[in-house]
């Protein structure tokens, strides 16, 4: 199939939930082999990669006809218990299980006026400004960067130099070459970014702005098209990022994600270095240089945002 004409995506019209459900189940099934789930593998020549529908249905305890209908995108009447069984049979992660549920049993929302841009509370902006020496920012829907502190600008780039519509992690990763030099595990960063975006798409398949973003990235980035076709999903939580900063060299930073209780579509992301480490000293230097730059009215140390 031509990835640029994926039927699950029509720019400007949202994502086709039924096609998304079908492709997600098919790709999850394709990654499993009979021996992975304790089934005998009869015959050397299998017509499909991974498990057959019959094998998956057997593992999930449903009829082949029922599972086939579900994989064709007809999940309107599927129960939570059946989805749990299929998730176990497919060995889905927690994020993948949630994504399957979003696609198969979407929440019914009343039609609302066009969504306004997400807003960050004043108190949260003040909190960001008060966090000294720790890069921190707030990310919202579609990987939009909504607010950040001086240290985040020093490490990741002065996003204030970009138009608001360009302050988006997916755009930066796939369309801004400077970020390829910043992230040392570049391929993993790309894969994670697409997985986060797909998770958002499962929750909000009717979002035209998200569909437009996916359409633009699909047209402009072959890497994005390849990763989007994999249908991988992931929730941002915590981990370690290794960066190669243009001024202070290599950084090893741990990150944490905090989803806001009063707005689950916004998350506070913080980065910190192990105390006493070279990375901690590098952050201290960036904090000092950043303070000088703030007084001078510019950014002292950051990858180019443009």
- State how far Cα 77 lies from the chain centre: 28
What pLDDT was estimated at residue 39?
A: 74
Is pLDDT of 296 > 60? no
Nearest to 28 by CA among 67, 1, 65: 67
Task: Using DSSP bridges, classify how beta strands 238-245 and 249-259 pair: parallel, antiparallel or unpaired.
Answer: antiparallel
The two three-digit tokens of residue 196, written as one number:
């986060």
Torsion sign (Cα): 209, 211, 215, 217? positive
User: CA-to-CA distance for 8 and 25, rounded, in angstroms?
Assistant: 13
The two three-digit tokens of residue 211, written as one number:
């569909």
Domain ranges of the chain: 3-104, 122-296
pLDDT tens-digit profile of 52-95? Answer: 899 899 999 999 999 999 998 876 678 889 999 999 999 999 99
The helix/strand/coil state of 46 is coil
The two three-digit tokens of residue 75, written as one number:
């999940």
User: CA-to-CA distance for 144 and 154, rounded, in angstroms?
Assistant: 18
Average pLDDT in the 278-293 region? 81
Average pLDDT in the 131-151 region? 94
CATH C-level class of 122-296: alpha beta
Q: What angle do CA 19, 144, 213 make, to 5 degrees?
A: 40
The fold of the 3-104 domain, in CATH, is 434 Repressor (Amino-terminal Domain) (1.10.260)
Is pLDDT of 267 > 90? yes
Q: Which long-range contacts (CB under 8 A, 24 or more apart) does 258-265 make?
A: 260/124, 263/118, 265/118, 265/140, 265/141
What pLDDT was estimated at residue 15?
A: 75
The two three-digit tokens of residue 57, written as one number:
């249905």
The owner of tokens 């096609």 is: 19
Terminal C-alpha separation, the chain:
34
Is pLDDT of 105 > 60? yes
Share of the chain above pLDDT 70, in %: 83
Is pLDDT of 114 > 90? no
pLDDT band at 290 (very low <50, low <70, confident <90, very high): low
Residue 42 backbone dihedrals phi, psi, to 5 degrees: -90, 120
pLDDT tens-digit profile of 231-248? Answer: 999 988 899 999 999 999
pTM for the full predicted model = 0.82
What pLDDT was estimated at residue 13?
A: 59
What pLDDT was estimated at residue 112?
A: 47
pLDDT tens-digit profile of 157-216? Answer: 989 999 998 999 999 999 999 899 999 999 999 999 999 999 999 888 888 899 999 999
Count other C-beta atoms under 10 Å from residue 178's C-beta: 14
CB 118 within 8 A of CB 146: yes
Residue 252 backbone dihedrals phi, psi, to 5 degrees: -115, 110
Residue 136 backbone dihedrals phi, psi, to 5 degrees: -150, 145
Is pLDDT of 10 > 60? no
Mean pLDDT taken over the chain: 85
């Amino acid at each position: 199939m031509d990835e640029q004409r994926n039927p699950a995506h029509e720019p400007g019209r949202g994502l086709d939930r039924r096609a998304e459900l079908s492709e997600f189940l098919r790709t999850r099934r394709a990654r499993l082999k009979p021996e992975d789930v304790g089934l005998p593998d009869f015959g050397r020549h299998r017509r499909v990669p991974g498990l057959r529908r019959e094998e998956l249905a057997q593992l999930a305890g449903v009829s082949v006809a029922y599972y086939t209908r579900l994989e064709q995108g007809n999940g309107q009447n599927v129960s939570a218990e059946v989805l749990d069984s299929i998730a176990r049979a497919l060995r889905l992660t927690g994020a993948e299980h949630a994504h399957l549920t979003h696609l198969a049993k979407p929440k019914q929302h009343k039609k609302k006026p066009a969504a306004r841009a997400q807003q960050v509370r004043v108190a949260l902006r003040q909190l960001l400004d008060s966090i000294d020496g720790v890069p921190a920012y707030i990310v919202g829907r579609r990987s939009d960067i909504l607010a950040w502190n001086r240290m985040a600008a020093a490490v990741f780039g002065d996003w204030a130099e970009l138009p608001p519509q360009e302050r988006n992690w997916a755009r930066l990763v796939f369309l801004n070459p400077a970020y390829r030099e910043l992230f040392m595990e570049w391929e993993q960063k790309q894969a994670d970014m697409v997985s986060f975006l797909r998770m958002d798409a499962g929750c909000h398949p009717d979002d035209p702005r998200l569909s437009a973003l996916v359409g633009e990235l699909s047209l402009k980035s072959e890497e994005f098209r390849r990763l989007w076709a994999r249908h991988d999903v992931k929730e941002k939580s915590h981990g370690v990022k290794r960066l190669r900063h243009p001024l202070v060299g290599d950084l090893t930073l741990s990150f944490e994600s905090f989803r806001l209780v009063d707005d689950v579509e916004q998350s506070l992301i913080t980065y910190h270095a192990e105390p006493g480490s070279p990375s901690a000293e590098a952050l201290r230097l960036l904090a000092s240089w950043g303070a000088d730059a703030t007084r001078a009215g510019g950014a002292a140390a950051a990858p180019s945002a443009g």
